[in-house]
């Protein structure tokens, strides 16, 4: 691996041409990207009262009518079209989902892709979406913690019994195939709760900053906080830090060396898919690396 993994955000949401999704994943692989990534929502309310936590004014940066391909289906499409690059999701809102079914789906994806899965997970922010899926919103943080444990248990093939909790698990279950290798779970979010969760349970951090608002100092402070909290918990600090940077990769390139020094190990970028835009995107970013 180079000093940083460069991932391409596939157009699985917004202006979507599902026929091209696999072709673009293959193009990303052939152009030199290390990974392809998709994002996640299930439904969108026509009217949204929830505050979007990743914009200054709390409003969404896309229209509710924009289509979203199911994240797991999009990942399967990308994995089937490629041979070697990682296939990730950032982030999958797991408290809205049945954890046992999700464990099976993700293990199957990792098995069929021969160990190429990376899973970013988050607590979610859109109350109306939780309500549509009949999932509890107020306890989503605790549910997220429990669901992560359940995923990892089921990925052993022999999950332990869980007599209590939000989702009790009976004894004596088997769940195969197991993932080819341990699936990295990156915790998404910029809040103190997200950083705590990275430190005590995650395999890494999935952060988000708009390309024109990149602040390496915020990332560095987050990494330091994660390391301190992990050490306090008697745990080896997770060293994988993925940063999703919507926007211009030209702007990102000017800050890339700073981000590497701050601790970023993966970036997930928007791609110009016209002509040889994918190749030019990854080459431009690699040329900016220290």
CATH number at residue 175: 3.20.20.30
Summarised one tens digit per residue, pLDDT across range 130-178 is: 999 999 999 999 999 999 999 999 999 999 999 999 999 999 999 999 9
121 beta partners: 92, 187
Q: Where are the beta strands (DSSP E) in 154-277?
A: 185-188, 204-208, 240-245, 266-269
Distance CA 196, CA 35 (A): 26
**pLDDT for res 101:** 98
- Cβ pair 208, 244 in contact under 8 A: yes
Let me know if 140 is exposed, middle or buried by CB neighbors in 10 A (0-12, 13-18, 19+): buried
Give the chain's mean pLDDT.
95
Question: pLDDT band at 212, cuts 50/70/90?
Answer: very high
Summarised one tens digit per residue, pLDDT across range 56-67 is: 888 888 888 888
* Residue 25 vs residues 79, 87, 209: alpha-carbon distances, Å: 8, 9, 23
% pLDDT > 70, the chain: 98
**pLDDT for res 14:** 78
Angle between helices 192-201 and 216-232 (to 10 degrees): 50
- For 160, the domain range is 5-287
- Cβ pair 49, 128 in contact under 8 A: yes
Question: pLDDT band at 2, cuts 50/70/90?
Answer: low
Summarised one tens digit per residue, pLDDT across range 217-267 is: 999 999 999 999 999 999 999 989 999 999 999 999 999 999 999 999 999
**pLDDT for res 58:** 87
% pLDDT > 90, the chain: 88
Residue 261's CB is within 10 A of a number of other CB atoms, namely: 12
Total number of domains constituting the chain: 1
Distance CA 174, CA 105 (A): 14
- Of residues 90 and 62, which shows the higher confidence score? 90
Question: pLDDT band at 287, cuts 50/70/90?
Answer: very high
Distance CA 47, CA 64 (A): 8
89 beta partners: 38, 119
pLDDT for 1 beyond 60: no
- Residue 219's nearest CA partner among 187, 178, 261 is 261
Report pTM: 0.95
* Residue 213 vs residues 43, 56, 91, 154, 217: alpha-carbon distances, Å: 28, 11, 20, 39, 12
Distance CA 193, CA 200 (A): 11
Distance CA 206, CA 229 (A): 17
Average pLDDT over residues 20-36: 96
Classify residue 36 by its DSSP letter.
E
Distance CA 200, CA 237 (A): 9
């Amino acid at each position: 691996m180079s000093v940083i993994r460069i991932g391409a955000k596939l157009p699985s949401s917004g202006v979507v041409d599902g026929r091209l999704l696999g072709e673009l994943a293959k193009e990303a692989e052939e152009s030199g990207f290390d990974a392809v990534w998709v994002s996640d929502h299930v439904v969108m309310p026509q009217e949204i009262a929830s505050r979007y936590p990743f914009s200054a004014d709390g409003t969404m940066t896309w229209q509710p009518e924009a289509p979203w391909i199911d994240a797991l289906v999009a990942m399967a499409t990308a994995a089937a079209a490629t041979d070697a690059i990682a296939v990730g999701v950032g982030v999958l809102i797991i408290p809205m989902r049945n954890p046992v079914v999700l464990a099976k789906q993700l293990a199957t994806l990792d098995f069929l892709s021969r160990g190429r899965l990376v899973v970013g997970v988050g607590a979610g922010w859109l109350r109306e979406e939780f309500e549509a899926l009949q999932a509890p919103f107020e306890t989503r943080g605790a549910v997220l913690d429990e669901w992560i444990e359940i995923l990892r248990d089921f990925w052993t093939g022999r999950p332990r019994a869980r007599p209590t909790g939000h989702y009790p698990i009976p004894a004596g279950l088997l769940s195969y195939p197991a993932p080819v290798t341990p699936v990295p779970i990156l915790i998404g979010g910029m809040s103190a709760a997200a950083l705590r969760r990275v430190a005590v349970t995650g395999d890494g951090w999935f952060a988000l900053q708009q390309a024109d608002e990149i602040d390496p100092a915020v990332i560095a402070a987050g990494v330091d906080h994660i390391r301190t909290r992990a050490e306090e918990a008697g745990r080896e600090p997770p060293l994988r830090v993925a940063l999703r940077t919507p926007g211009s990769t030209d702007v990102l390139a000017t800050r890339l060396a700073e981000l590497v020094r701050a601790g970023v190990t993966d970036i997930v970028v928007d791609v110009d898919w016209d002509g040889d835009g994918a190749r030019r995107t990854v080459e431009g970013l690699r040329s900016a690396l220290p």
